[in-house]
Amino acid sequence: MAALIYSLLLSSIYFTLSCSATSNNGGFTIDLLHRDPPYGEARFRSIRSAIDRSFSRKSSLLSKISNTEIDSVDATVTGAGGEYVMKYLIGTPPVEQLGIADTGSDLLWTQCLPCRQCYKQNSPLFNPSKSRSYRPVSCYSEQCQFPSCDEGNSCQYEVLYGDRSHTTGGLATETLSFGGKIAFPKVVFGCGHDNDGTFSEAESGIVGLGGGSDSIVKQLRSTTGGRFSYCLTLLNANVSSKISFGSNAVVAGPDVVSTPLVKKAPDTFYYLTLEGISVGEKRTDLASSKAGIRPAVEEGNIIIDSGTTLTLVPQEIYQGVEAALDAVITGEKVTDPQGTLGLCYRVSGGQGIESPPVTVHFKGADLVVEAVSLFVEVEEGISCLTLVAAQDLAIYGNLFQMNYHIGYDLVKGQVSFQKTDCAMLK
C-alpha cells in the first residue's frame, strides 16, 4: 500500500489530490496537496511510525515476489497509512473519494455500502445502489482474477496486507473521473464491504498505480498512453506536489536521464537496475570490481516505490556509503534511540546535516540526492541517514525521489528523471 512517512514525512506524509485537474490533448495533471505536518513530539511520533512501516512494507513486497504463482492482485502489500492521497470521483452521479496513491499495488478499491465491517472514514461511504453506472464483474469475465464468487456469480476479491489489514468485497466497473471534468467509463475497481487495519480516517481506500493489468495506469492506457509522472516537493515546502497522466506526464529536456524498466514478476512492481552509489568521488558498486572493471549486475535489482519512505540497498552498498559519509561529515555522532537507523548526528536549531553530494547510479541515469532527503530529524536534536541495509529486497524510496520530476512510460519501458524544484512545477 502506498505509504510511509512524515506527511511526505511518512505516516504521515499525506498529500491530497485537489479537485482541480488540467487536461491537454488526452493528458491531465492533478495537485498533490501537502497536508500540514504535525509539530513537536507528535511530528516525531509520525516520523517513527513511518520509518517502522518502511520495514513492514519491505517484508510485504518481498512476500509478494516470493509468491508470484498466486494470481490475486495486491495480496501482500502492506496496509500502512498513506502519504499521498488522491481525490477522485466515482459513480453516476459522481461521489468524491480519497485513495492512497500507490505505485506498489494495482487494484483501486474503496469502502462501500452495505458495510459488514469498515474502518472509520471522514467522508461518506460509496453506495453502489445509488450509482447508475455501477456494474458487478461476472465470475466468467476475463476481468475476474479472483477465485471467489457470490451466489449471483459476481466476482469477489480479497486482499490481505502484510500488517494484517484487509479488504474484501465485490469487483465491479464504474465511471471514474478527476476534477469532475475527465471521465473514464467501465473502470474495474474493488467495492469493499469488509475492510479493517491501519488505515487513516482521511482515506477511503487505495488507488493502485502499479504495472499490473488491474492498475488504472493500464486500464486508462488507451487515453494516457501508459504514461504518468509525479514531482514531490521537499518536506518544508508549502506548495502542492503534482501527479500527471498522458501527454502531461512526458518528462523531456536536455537534462533528463532515463533508465530501463525491467520486466519481472510480479508485474505490479517497477524494477530498475542499481549499479552503485557515490559519496563525492568515492563510489561503492554493487559488486566489487576486479582489475578496475566493474562486473555486470543483476538486471532489475531494485524497486522504485512511492509508498516506501526509506531507501533500502544491499549491505555492501550501505556499508560503503555509511563509511564514506562518516569520514567527511563533521559533528557529534550519536546512536538512534530506537536502534533502527545506522548513522545519526546531533543537530540543533533546526539545522541540517552538511553532506557531500551523494549520487545514485542507475543503469544509464545518475541521480544526485539532496542532503535534505538524505538525512531526516527523527527525534528532537537527532538526524539520521534515510538509507538502510536490506539484503533481500532493494527499494528506492520517496525521500530520495523528492525534487525530481519522475516519469513512467510503460510503452517505452523506461523511467525518466529531471532534477527540478518541484515547488515551481506548473
Coil, strand, or helix at residue 187? strand
Beta strands 227-231 and 241-245 are antiparallel
Exposed, middle or buried by CB within 10 Å (0-12, 13-18, 19+), for 109?
buried
User: Is 31 among the catalytic positions?
Assistant: no
The distance of Cα 393 from the centroid of its chain, to the nearest Å, equals: 16
- Mark out the alpha helices in 34-101 (DSSP H runs): 40-66
Cβ–Cβ < 8 Å for 83, 307: yes
Nearest-5° angle of CA 139, CA 211, CA 176?
Answer: 65
Strand (E) or helix (H) holding 218: helix 216-219
Question: In whole angstroms, how far apart are CA 236 and each of 52, 240, 372, 385?
Answer: 22, 11, 10, 18
Paired with 293 in beta bridges are: 290
User: Is 194 among the catalytic positions?
Assistant: no
> In sequence order, what are the residues at sequence separation of 6 or more whose Cβ sits closer than 8 angstroms to the Cβ of residue 70?
none
Q: Which of 31, 106, 214, 305 is catalytic?
A: 305
Question: In whole angstroms, how far apart are CA 153 and each of 75, 191, 229?
Answer: 22, 16, 38
Q: Which of 31, 52, 74, 102 is catalytic?
A: 102
The dihedral region occupied by 103, where left means phi > 0, alpha psi between -120 and 50, and beta the remainder, is: alpha
- Could you list the active site residues? 102, 305
